[in-house]
Structure 1
Amino acid sequence: MLDARRLSRPGLIDSISGTMATGTRRLVAIAALTAVLWFLWAQLYPVDNAGTTTIDEPADAAFPRKIWQTWSIPAQELGGTFQSWSVSWIDVNPNYRYELLTSNSASTYVREKYERQRPDIVEVFEALHNDAILRADLLRYLALFADGGVYADMDTDCTRPIDDWIPGEYLPSANLVVGLEYDAQGGEIRGDFTIAASLGQWTFMARPGSPALALVIDKVIEAVLRLYEVNQTMPTFTGEQVIDVTGPHMFTNSILEYLSIKTGTQVSYFDISNLTEPKLIADVLVLPINAFGTGQDHSGSKEDGNSEQLMRHHWYGWKGWRVSHPG
């Protein structure tokens, strides 16, 4: 049974900032230890004249080399097209760990990662057991917040190595990497969209503990609990509710809200529209439409195979879940 009173629980951002106070008391000891470790590191790995270490380290080490997907059955039972799409992520990125969370293993994963500090997240996730779409949306945010890496829907395939996705100048600052799925480009909004620019969540990339994802997760939990409180039971979600509660509209609006808070200025759809190259806003890197949204009939999207394309989305899931969530 869900408890709507859990709305008053501190969110993920509050939980994280609360733990920082304890760490402050250890700063003196850490500083001393750091000095010793730095001295030993300098002896082992000399610094060249340019001020960089002479060993070859991956520049994007803070982005875990993990690929996450979710589906109803395990990877070994996949067949046909889905298997070939899934394998593409492994083949193109052989140095990445791949994990497919199934309907059964997902609950175990969420409990292990969140039950101690955020039991409300576990309760909401398990209460959505009859709605695979909302669970899949929430699960992708939870996995990348906890462990980081790249999430990709099962109806996608990888066309360029993930290590090439982020321009080097953005690697030190980006905590979340997202791509446009729709852009009205300053014109009239299409009838099948309700916002001027939308960020896709069929594929995105994050470091563990991304504060933008923390806000996304809290917004989902709050929205589900409010609907539960109104209905006194878990409602049957319409297609529009899926988009607004866990899907791309919620994802986009939450990230824009986070960026507005982070920058101290109003960040709107116009700030992510008409991109011709990646744009870093605070710690969120927004990619142009063709990075993740190639092959569409809108938003300035080019044909499949263009030089800006990083992956391919086949929109199989869109056709399927819309049937089960009309309206």
Structure 2
Amino acid sequence: MNAARRRGIIIFSILCTVLLVSFRLFVANKNGVMPNSANENLLGISKLISSQNNLKQDELLNKMTKLNKQFLVKQEARLSNLEEQNQLILEKLSQLNQKQLYNSGAPIRDKLINLVPYDSSVRFPAYIWQTWKHGLNDERFKQLYRQGETQWAVKNPGFVHELFNDDTTYSVVKHLYGSVPEVVRAYELLPEVILRMDFFRYLILFAKGGIYADIDTYPLQPIPNWIPENVSPDELGMIVSVEIDSKNKNWAKNYHRRLQFGQFVIQSKPGHPILREIISVIVDETLHKERSESLFLVGNSNEKQLDILKWTGSGVWTDVIMTYFNDYIKSSIYNRITWKDFTDLEIPKLVSDVLVLPKKSFASEIEIPQDGKIDDPLAFVKHYASKIWKTT
């Protein structure tokens, strides 16, 4: 038998075997019976196919997750870059607007609004500002005033406490208000130290907020005690007290108003509208006096005192506060407010966002107790009313 024939027989035998096996499988399947070996083979093939599919799905999922992470990283980078560019544009626009505002002859009030916007929701800054013509190490710094200056710091730990003299106040004004030259010019023009010190207290409080206290004051209680328990600090923008409540029918000989608010102690949040207005009024008045060549105080001592009250002191301060109270847009008060609302005041009174304290609160007449215990809960500050700046 030659080789070709043998190959043919082998191929034929294989084909017959395949046909036989296929026939048996067909018959078994038709009868609902599957040999165990065939069933196992098919199950194995199914598992293999499923395993391969799961593997491919996992690989695809991992690739998609990786691509998604890469996309998010790139997207965040692009968004961050856009935010930086947007912030840069806003800053440049703000600088441009400020430059145009300051160079355009805009009203002083607009410049001040832009310089220090008022945010009533901020906390009262923990600053205590004081002024005196002598430094702490100067032997001319009286012991009486030194005690008060020390107690402001002792009773209010955590507060920044700064004492300025006439030279340092000028440097501070130039630094804080360099972009509003009218303010600096007005400060330079004021002919008396007392006028400049009056002006400075408004300027430092408007720019920084906190507490201003004359050097001839002595704190009786910590500053946080000033606010009654039934008043939230969030409601407040300023704290002042009554200074003058005259019952004399000839009050006009000595005072600008029969009832005046004191400015020897003031607490305020930065940018308060009352401070903005008092600064604007003083600037306008001072520049007007320069143009009319009437800058210097004239007359006898009483006439000069009245001029100071109207120019920078508690007289114009009172006028500005009362104007604020009676401006519904600013104060949200419907009823007309007059001096009668504060005469004989015995307890703190909240008007708009201003807490008005009785005269005794910032000008207490009690003696300073050795044990530090204060019988009157509304006695916060003792004011010696030394009129110290009038001796310069």
**Aligned 8 A contact 1:158 1:310 in 2:** yes
- Structure 2 residue aligned with 1:91, among 154, 161, 165? 154
Aligned residues: 266
Distance in structure 2 (CA, Å) of the matches to 1:264 and 1:226:
33
SS in 1 for 2:287: helix
TM-superposed CA distance for 1:309, in Å, is: 0.9
Question: Partner letter of residue 154 of structure 2?
Answer: D
TM-aligned CA distance change 1:109 to 1:15, over 3 Å:
closer
Structure in which a larger fraction of residues adopt helix: 2
Question: Partner letter of residue 83 of structure 1?
Answer: R
Residue in 2 that maps onto 1:46:
none
**Aligned 8 A contact 2:122 2:269 in 1:** no
Runs of 4+, deviation exceeding 4 Å:
17-20
Question: Partner letter of residue 106 of structure 1?
Answer: T
Task: Provide structure 1 residue ranges, at least 5 long, that are not aligned to the other structure.
Answer: 1-5, 21-59, 297-303
Distance in structure 1 (CA, Å) of the matches to 2:187 and 2:115:
24
Residue in 1 that maps onto 2:288:
226
Question: Partner letter of residue 12 of structure 1?
Answer: R
- Structure 2 residue aligned with 1:134, among 195, 201, 214? 195
Residue in 2 that maps onto 1:80:
143
TM-aligned CA distance change 1:114 to 1:194, over 3 Å:
closer
Deviation track 1:43-84 (CA, whole Å, cap 9, x = no partner) reads xxxxxxxxxxxxxxxxx9710111000112223333522211
- Structure 2 residue aligned with 1:123, among 185, 200, 211? 185
- Show the 5 A alignment for 1:171-182: 171-182=233-244
- Structure 1 residue aligned with 2:269, among 204, 207, 210? 207
Question: Partner letter of residue 205 of structure 1?
Answer: Q
Distance in structure 1 (CA, Å) of the matches to 2:257 and 2:343:
11
SS in 1 for 2:227: coil
Residue in 2 that maps onto 1:150:
211
Deviation track 1:126-179 (CA, whole Å, cap 9, x = no partner) reads 222x41100000000000010011000011111100011112424111111100
**Aligned 8 A contact 1:257 1:267 in 2:** no
SS in 2 for 1:198: strand
Task: Provide structure 2 residue ranges, at least 5 long, that are not aligned to the other structure.
Answer: 1-102, 299-303, 367-373
Distance in structure 2 (CA, Å) of the matches to 1:189 and 1:91:
42
Structure number with greater Rg is 2
TM-superposed CA distance for 1:203, in Å, is: 0.5
TM-score between both structures, scaled by the size of structure 2? 0.62
Q: Which moved more, 1:209-218 or 1:268-277?
A: 268-277
- After superposition, the CA RMSD in angstroms is 2.6
TM-superposed CA distance for 1:13, in Å, is: 5.2
TM-score between both structures, scaled by the size of structure 1? 0.74
Residue in 2 that maps onto 1:100:
163
Residue in 2 that maps onto 1:12:
109
Residue in 2 that maps onto 1:259:
325
